[in-house]
Amino acid sequence: MVLAAIVVSVCILPNTGLAAAPQSFEPAALQADLRFAIDTIERQHPQLERSTTRERLEAAAASIRGQLSRAMTQGEAWAAMAQLNPLLADGHLFIGLPNWREQSAAEVRRGTGFFPFEVELDEQGYPVITAKLGGEMTPFAGRRIVRISGRDAQDVTYALLARMHGDTPAFRAALLAQRWWLGFAKLYGTPAVYDLQFAGSPMSHRVSAGHVLPAILQQEANFDRLYSCRINADHTAALKVASFAWSDKAQYFKFTHDCFAQMKAASTQRLVIDVSANGGGDDDMWKEGYASAS
């Protein structure tokens, strides 16, 4: 499979990210996978009308099918087919890239650079720098980017949002900000240098690509960044759970068991569970993890 979704998997073969040159897939295979995705959604979705209609889905697929007229890499195929995602408006059903975390880490190890900054999106849709790629401080923090290598930065945002999944525009914008480096790479490539222009300044800044793991990948690899348990003196507690996809489930279940044991010992009366940064995962991690609360 080239692309994947939570419910639908599309395309024929995986791009492992290990080859020197990305594998290409022929138009007939891509179009067949698009048809498979649409058929599967229409057949299995329990309530498609909550986000779209069959007619709108078919019309969007017809438009995308016209774009699948040449051989494409995995990233190029995603850029075309992922235009279904805002129409589906779902956090769990989407056209996605399989193993993008592993592939991106492998790219960094091979020397590929990504967009050099972590960003957030302002109300107008412009990216605003928050840190260097990976999270280190930068003197450019707070600067609004208005042009990226000759492209209007707002147009770049809209092009990427047109491929993001999620049930609301705010969700899609937050997800894009978190994965800006990934979306930009898939749509515009990975140049060695980015020519950036900031709001309020006519001059441009040439900034080299970032060659470190992006912040989201660093966070997801660190247990203590994903999970925390705080017991307060006023009989309240705060439990942060930023993922239900930790590979060492025994470690996770021990953490939740110990946290609830501490709350019981402290006679905790109010618990706030923070899942605001949780990207999902396996059901057993929340079902079994919180069974120890009872």
Domain count, the chain: 3
Shared-domain flag, residues 199 and 239: no
- 279 domain residue, yes or no: yes
- 133 domain residue, yes or no: yes
Radius of gyration of the chain (CA): 21
Cβ neighbours of 171 (radius 10 Å): 14
Q: Is 283 exposed, middle or buried (0-12, 13-18, 19+ CB in 10 A)?
A: exposed
- pLDDT, tens digit, for every residue of 75-120? 999 999 999 999 999 988 899 988 899 999 999 999 999 999 999 9
- 203 domain residue, yes or no: yes
Closest CA to 181 of 219, 211, 144, 223: 211
- 106 domain residue, yes or no: no
- pLDDT, tens digit, for every residue of 207-265? 999 999 999 999 988 899 889 999 999 999 999 998 888 889 999 999 999 999 999 99
Last residue of a domain, one of 75, 98, 121: 98
Residue 123's identity, in one-letter code, is: E
Shared-domain flag, residues 205 and 228: no
Residues 133, 118: contact at Cβ < 8 Å?
A: yes
Shared-domain flag, residues 77 and 150: no
Shared-domain flag, residues 182 and 253: no
Shared-domain flag, residues 195 and 263: no
Shared-domain flag, residues 178 and 85: no
Last residue of a domain, one of 214, 249, 270: 214
CATH code of 122's domain:
2.30.42.10
Asked if residue 17 has pLDDT above 60, the reply is no
Q: Is 197 exposed, middle or buried (0-12, 13-18, 19+ CB in 10 A)?
A: buried
- 201 domain residue, yes or no: yes
- pLDDT, tens digit, for every residue of 109-143? 999 999 999 999 999 999 999 999 999 999 999 99
Shared-domain flag, residues 208 and 227: no
Residues 273, 241: contact at Cβ < 8 Å?
A: yes
- pLDDT, tens digit, for every residue of 252-274? 999 999 999 999 999 999 999 99
Here the tokens at position 16 are 């492992």
- 104 domain residue, yes or no: no
- 21 domain residue, yes or no: yes
Range of the domain at 72: 3-98
Shared-domain flag, residues 139 and 46: no
- Which 3-state string (H, E, C) describes the chain? CCEECCCCEECCCCCCCCCCCCCEECHHHHHHHHHHHHHHHHHHCCCHHHCCCHHHHHHHHHHHHHHCCCCEEHHHHHHHHHHHHHHHCCCCCCCECCCHHHHHHHHHHCCCCECCEEEEECCCCCEEEEEECCCCCCCCCCCEEEEECCEEHHHHHHHHHCCCCCCCHHHHHHHHHHCHHHHHHHHHCCCCEEEEEECCCCCEEEEECECCCCHHHHHHCCHHHHEEEEECCCCEEEEEECCECCCCHHHHHHHHHHHHHHHHHCCCCEEEEECCCCCCECHHHHHCCCHHHC
- pLDDT, tens digit, for every residue of 37-65? 999 999 999 899 989 999 999 999 999 99
Shared-domain flag, residues 261 and 208: no
d(CA 1, CA 18): 15
Place of tokens 């840190």: 131
Shared-domain flag, residues 73 and 90: yes
Q: What phi and psi values does residue 204 have, to the nearest 5 degrees?
A: -110, 160
Q: Output the average pLDDT for the chain.
A: 89
- 105 domain residue, yes or no: no
Shared-domain flag, residues 209 and 119: yes
Shared-domain flag, residues 23 and 73: yes
Residues 17, 107: contact at Cβ < 8 Å?
A: yes
Last residue of a domain, one of 214, 230, 251: 214
Give the long-range contacts of residues 137-142, CB within 8 A, separation 24 or more. 140/198, 140/205
Residues 153, 194: contact at Cβ < 8 Å?
A: no
Asked if residue 21 has pLDDT above 90, the reply is no
Residues 171, 91: contact at Cβ < 8 Å?
A: yes
